[in-house]
């Protein structure tokens, strides 16, 4: 099964993707996590992407599309995958549609005014992509791999505001794009993490 999870910055894509991937044994392909890993590893791609990400802008299509194509060509993706953070504009959606069929596009519908607070409280592991809120990780360590949790460079309030604008202009229209394709499933993302997950599982049945 090829699934996309869509939603605004801080809507819970990464949180829900981790639960879905565990339950359905799918690889979690997050372009944001892959880009952050490249930055942490000091690769050429990471160097090119960092300024865009720190400003809350989209990384240029040619870089992200090449990254995505390489990742989904890996063997663990051959029986399906969950895409988180891709596609993010019409061009990326077209390219993706030319490579694979998407079975379900999950859309986490959220109240944009509440998301900056979620981002401010988020702590992430740059090694494995694990993400949680500060209150749930009092020891500051990743539950999955024990690495220190950090605040993402693009979670500063002014950058989050820019990411929300970029989302509204470029990514939000993809909800209609996947609706027209008949694969959209909308879930209320303002519920508790557990309730959102239950709604997603019901939508995937």
Could you tell which of Mg ion, ligand AP5, none binds residue 29, using a CB distance below 5 to 8 A set by kind? none
Binding mask 177-196 toward ligand AP5 (x if CB under 6 A, else -) reads ---------------xx--x
Shortest approach of Mg ion to residue 182 CB, angstroms? Answer: 26
- Asked whether position 2 contacts ligand AP5 by CB under 6 A, the answer is no
197 Cβ contact list (under 8 Å, min separation 6): 16, 19, 20
In whole angstroms, give the CA distance from residue 172 to residue 151: 25
Exposure class string for 48-72: b at 16+ Cβ within 10 A, else e = ebbebbeebbbbeeebbbebbeebb
Cβ atoms of 131 and 19 closer than 8 Å: no
| Of the residues 45, 105, 131, 184, which one makes contact with ligand AP5 according to CB under 6 A | 131
Cite the active site residues. 13, 88, 122, 152, 163
Binding positions for ligand AP5, 80-119, rule CB under 6 A? 85-86, 88, 92, 118-119
Instruction: State yes or no: residue 38 binds ligand AP5 (CB under 6 A).
Output: no
Contact call for residues 14 and 126 (beta carbons, < 8 A): no
Residues 6+ apart with CB under 8 A from 167: 8, 9
Tell me: does residue 197 bind ligand AP5 (CB under 6 A). Answer: no
- Positions that interact with ligand AP5 (CB under 6 A): 7, 9-15, 31-32, 35, 52-53, 56-59, 64, 85-86, 88, 92, 118-119, 121-122, 131-133, 154, 163, 192-193, 196
């Amino acid at each position: 099964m090829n699934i996309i999870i869509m939603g605004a910055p801080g809507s819970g894509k990464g949180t829900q993707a981790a639960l879905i991937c565990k339950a359905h044994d799918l690889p979690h392909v997050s372009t944001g996590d892959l880009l952050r890993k490249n930055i942490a590893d000091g690769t050429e791609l990471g160097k090119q992407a960092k300024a865009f990400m720190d400003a809350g802008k989209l990384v240029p299509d040619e870089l992200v599309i090449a990254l995505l194509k390489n990742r989904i060509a890996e063997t663990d993706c051959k029986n399906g995958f969950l895409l988180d953070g891709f596609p993010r504009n019409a061009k990326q959606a077209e390219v993706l549609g030319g490579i694979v069929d998407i079975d379900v596009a999950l859309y986490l519908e959220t109240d944009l005014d509440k998301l900056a607070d979620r981002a401010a409280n988020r702590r992430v592991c740059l090694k494995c992509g694990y993400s949680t809120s500060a209150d749930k990780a009092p020891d500051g360590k990743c539950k999955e791999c024990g690495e220190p949790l950090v605040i993402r460079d693009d979670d500063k309030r002014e950058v989050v505001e820019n990411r929300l604008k970029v989302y509204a202009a470029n990514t939000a229209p993809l909800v209609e794009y996947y609706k027209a394709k008949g694969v959209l499933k909308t879930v209320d993302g303002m519920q508790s993490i557990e309730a959102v997950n239950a709604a997603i599982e019901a939508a995937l049945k």
